[in-house]
Amino acid sequence: GDSVTQMEGPVTLSEEAFLTINCTYTATGYPSLFWYVQYPGEGLQLLLKATKADDKGSNKGFEATYRKETTSFHLEKGSVQVSDSAVYFCALRSIQGAQKLVFGQGTRLTINP
């Protein structure tokens, strides 16, 4: 079945550091790919998405590129801020089965000032 694998956390960085959170997937066909963010005490919010190969999603300084050849959708940000501290989830939306989301296990990110 479809699956998503994220890099193990937690990740701790200093403010203004470069961020990469790795995400790879296994799926039939060409799923849509998403990054969601969960701030403390809140539900999940969509951060960015990509719907076909080589698409780049971007939002709030974060970027991720849909790489079909490596089945990856790594999240990057050039200079992180304390306010980016949250849990990040990579997810895919299958072309089968009522288009439900399949999530990775989540990566907790802490940014120190």
Partner 1 sequence: DVKVTQSSRYLVKRTGEKVFLECVQDMDHENMFWYRQDPGLGLRLIYFSYDVKMKEKGDIPEGYSVSREKKERFSLILESASTNQTSMYLCASGVSGGTGGNQPQHFGDGTRLSIL
Answer yes or no whether residue 26 interacts with partner 1 by CB under 8 A: no
Answer yes or no whether residue 65 interacts with partner 1 by CB under 8 A: no
Answer yes or no whether residue 93 interacts with partner 1 by CB under 8 A: yes
CA distance 4 to 13: 24
Query: Residue 11 — φ and ψ, nearest 5°?
Result: -115, 130
Answer yes or no whether residue 89 interacts with partner 1 by CB under 8 A: yes
DSSP code at position 84: G
C-alpha closest to that of 20 among 68, 80, 87 = 80
Mask for 29-48, x = binds partner 1 (CB under 8 A): --xx-x-x----xxxxxx--
The answer to whether 78 touches 18, Cβ cutoff 8 Å, is yes
Contacts with partner 1 by CB under 8 A lie at: 4, 31-32, 34, 36, 41-46, 49, 51, 89, 93, 95, 98-101, 103-106
